[in-house]
Amino acid sequence: MPPSARRCLAIVLAAGEGTRMRSNRPKALHEVAGRSMLAHVLAAVTQAGAEGLALVVGPDRDDVAAAARSAATDAEIFVQSQRLGTAHAVLAARAALDRGWDDVLIAFADTPLIGPSTFLALRQALADGAAVAALGFEAARPDGYGRLIVDGQGALTAIREHRDASEAERATRLCNAGLMALSGAHALSLLTAVTPANAQKEYYLTDVVAGAHARGLATTYRLASEEEVQGVNDRVQLAAVEAVAQTRLREKAMRAGATMIAPETVFLSADTELGCDVTIEPHVVFGRGVRIADNVVIRAYSHLEGASVAAGATLGPFARLRPGADIAARAHIGNFVEIKASSIGAGAKVNHLAYIGDASVGAGVNIGAGTITCNYDGYSKYRTEIGEGAFVGTNSSLVAPVKIGAGAYIGSGSVVTEDVSPGALALGRARQVEKIGWAEEFRKEKAKK
């Protein structure tokens, strides 16, 4: 029977405070590629077919619970009031287990790199008849890791924590990744049979393997790469996991048709969408919520967040798109230009040293260098509307709320405080005055002092 024909519950353990992170933020909410580690894990188990989601949190962790519900609205929250070990944590979700499932996946909120295919491999082991399937890996340096104990026939008989393992058991490089899948038919009886007979006096989830083996139930393991099973306990490990995630995202984007001139300098978010034949120059950063259509060029040192860019547009270098920026086809956003909560029409040009905020800019508009929309009075935000084909001269200040009609011209250096009619010329600057000989007289006076 394939896993898709079986009902699955995923229990995600997120009760750890992560004191080694040296942070006021719970460990599970630290981000990798712009998404919390918890959200990565919830997404992976969901894609692996989990119909039920149970999150185990520590006391007074409403922030973790809220983040889980934001990532997966149907997640149930359970509290582990005392930290007595991983098996104890899983049993905090007993109400969910009692409903009966074919498969029970147990995951950890601090292992964000594990993909859906790995969870599916564990589920397939259950579908093939195992009562317990553990996830293991070959460690380059196994010190500190629990070991998978395998008999002569290759069956998993136990998982031994490093501190409890014998010298012979520590000699193996086959290590425990922590994740596990349990047959729903045996999950509760195996978990409740665990006792704290170990150096830490804790209820180890790993002990269900020996318990199941002693009953004559099938116990097995599946392997993942050491890179995939990396956990995060401090910020050094968080950075290492971020590096792996970025390498994966870059490779995926390039294989899907994007060109990166120097991929190691480009940073993506987990939800970044890149179209075909997008070209990304060095040192570009994508925050969350960015969608890029086909044939877009993003020049060096640009930063994008919460923005959408249509086909054939050009950005940068040194462009900043903030949330709500909507760039239409073939528009040009140039160097040192910031766009926020604004739509830029097809073929429009905002090429130099400009700020466009809370505005709509029509198709074919030209925004001159040094132009700004004055959208904030210290209390409220106001909109600027610029009609199609308008020309805004350099160093102009458009004081919102204001409307510039289609085809209108704004003279350079103008401060525009009133609406401008379509096709009109607006000048909002003082008349030039020339005083013949003033400069020479001024210098003579200064020279006397």
d(CA 135, CA 53): 20
Residue 324 near residue 343, CB atoms below 8 Å: no
Annotated domain spans of the chain: 3-223, 235-426
Q: What percent of the chain has pLDDT over 90?
A: 85
Reported as a single tens digit per residue, the pLDDT across 11-70 is 999 988 778 999 999 999 999 999 999 999 999 999 999 999 999 999 989 999 999 999
The CATH number of domain 3-223, selected from 2.10.10.90, 3.40.47.10, 3.90.550.10, 3.40.50.980: 3.90.550.10
Reported as a single tens digit per residue, the pLDDT across 264-322 is 999 999 999 999 999 999 999 999 999 999 999 999 999 999 999 999 999 999 999 99
Q: Which of 58, 216, 186, 170 is nearest to 194 (CA)?
A: 186
Distances (CA, A) of 361 to 9, 188, 259, 344, 407: 50, 62, 29, 5, 12
Count of beta carbons in the 10 Å neighbourhood of residue 93: 26
pLDDT of amino acid 333: 98
Domain 235-426: which CATH class? mainly beta
Count of beta carbons in the 10 Å neighbourhood of residue 5: 9
Distances (CA, A) of 353 to 183, 242, 335, 346: 62, 33, 6, 20
pLDDT of amino acid 156: 95
- Residues with a catalytic annotation lie at 352
